[in-house]
Amino acid sequence: MKHKILFTTLALMSAVLMAGASSAPDDSELQPIVTIVKHEHAPEWYARQAALWKAETERNPADDDAWINYYHATRYASWNGGDGVTDTDNFNRQLDAIVEAVTHAHPGSYAQYVLENFNQRMTSTHKPYDDHMEEAIRMRPDNLRLYPDYVVYLMAHGNEELLGDILRRWYESGEYSPTLLGYAYNEMVGMEPDGIIFVNGDVPTFSKLIVGKGKGLFPDITVVTVSLLWDDTYRHTVCRTLGIDEYAPYREGDMQAWEEGFMLHIISHTKRTAYFSSMMPIPSFNDRLYSEGLVYRYSEHPYDNLSMKKRNLEQGYLTDYLYEPLYPETYGASAQRLNLNYIPCLKSLLDYYKTSGDKQHYTQLYNLMKRIVWRAQDLTDDERKKYHAEIER
């Protein structure tokens, strides 16, 4: 029996891991600039920090971290509340100027190498920098704050040995969100061996790679980040790693249609079982996607996917962390909001338990869903009512 594809419906505002701009601490002192997935501030806060960090680079041009904080504060200050760049040309000029400044003031440095790499991906100017990113990673393999940049680079270039080393360090640091790791584990635990999962964005990518290659639980599962497929280097690496023919590069036109064609190319040429994150945009071939809980399985033919969803929840999923986390949450309220995805993803199973008279499992899942909504922070009253209504519907 096939069940409705929900993806990002009522609920899947929860897939957006942003809980809104937080109140800022004292911005008259230097503050480290962390990813907005963990902590987001108003653009004015970032602008003030950019000025402070710029002054710090002028006082001490050899301070790598000052340059990196200056760059990222400037980048976030140019965003319109995190939703996009208000002036692309000015955005590019500002970031290009910082890279030029560090190259002049602190040549051959860690800061120069990582900012060149980041700027090449972030701006549309595509400056022809030499590639020193692997050298930078080896200079400071324990720089946790740059692990997202390290991982994206190593994924794209297919350096599996160094990627595995960084992911192990990231896992062992205890810095990554235990909530996001628990969610990723539950996505992957029901997958077939040698499966492929398509994801979008940094959080779904990093969490699964840390569980799979950092923790070593599902090392045979391949994570394909769709939002990176436009990058020629990553595209070549994906095709080479999977042992399939190259796919034509994206140049212009309908990006989603091109991505969908690439995903179908991978599925048809690898013959491996393919899954899709429930946080992916709804594809045109959604009639071939079957919910197995937190992920959707691609199948040319209908099958009893409800029994797979039941198996995953009852025999595979780790749910203790949803009731009472035992570890501090390093990513704050934004990580807890992701747990709201359990409600639409498992609603059909709750309905099945109710109609089949399985009171024990119905009560357990009902209470779990209620607990998730109760624990979620930064929800408006209307949002909370919608989730409760979805459970009771």
CA dihedral (339, 328, 147, 105) positive or negative:
positive
pLDDT of residue 3: 44
Which range has the worst mean pLDDT, 21-30, 44-53, 291-300?
21-30
C-alpha 201/C-alpha 269 separation (Å) is: 24
pTM equals 0.87
The pLDDT-based confidence of 10 (bands split at 50, 70, 90) is: very low
Boundaries of every domain in the chain: 10-16+170-392, 43-140
| Interval 254-281 mean pLDDT | 96
The pLDDT-based confidence of 125 (bands split at 50, 70, 90) is: low
- pLDDT tens-digit readout, 84-105: 556 788 888 999 999 999 999 9
| Interval 229-239 mean pLDDT | 95
User: Around Cβ 67, how many Cβ atoms within 10 Å?
Assistant: 28
Sequence-ordered alpha helix ranges (H) in 250-380: 255-270, 305-311, 320-323, 333-338, 342-356, 359-375
| Residue 318 clears pLDDT 60, i.e. is over it | yes
The pLDDT-based confidence of 4 (bands split at 50, 70, 90) is: very low
Percent of the chain exceeding pLDDT 70 equals 90
| Interval 2-9 mean pLDDT | 40
Percent of the chain exceeding pLDDT 90 equals 76
| Residue 121 clears pLDDT 90, i.e. is over it | no
- pLDDT tens-digit readout, 26-48: 567 999 998 877 778 899 999 99
User: Around Cβ 138, how many Cβ atoms within 10 Å?
Assistant: 9
pLDDT of residue 237: 97
- pLDDT tens-digit readout, 354-374: 999 999 999 999 999 999 999
Chain-wide mean pLDDT for the chain?
Answer: 89
C-alpha 362/C-alpha 354 separation (Å) is: 6
The pLDDT-based confidence of 335 (bands split at 50, 70, 90) is: confident
Give Dmax over CA atoms of the chain in angstroms. Answer: 72
pLDDT of residue 336: 82
pLDDT of residue 333: 66
3-class SS shares of the chain: helix, strand, coil, % to 5: 60, 5, 35
Of 23-27, 176-180, 292-296, 327-331, where does the model show the most confidence?
A: 292-296
C-alpha 198/C-alpha 226 separation (Å) is: 6
Residue 276 in 3-state DSSP?
A: strand
- pLDDT tens-digit readout, 63-85: 999 999 999 999 999 875 444 55
pLDDT of residue 85: 56
C-alpha 234/C-alpha 224 separation (Å) is: 10
Amino acid identity of 60?
N
Does residue 197 contact residue 221 with C-beta atoms inside 8 Å? Answer: yes
| Interval 368-385 mean pLDDT | 92
Which range has the worst mean pLDDT, 45-54, 104-113, 144-153, 330-339?
330-339
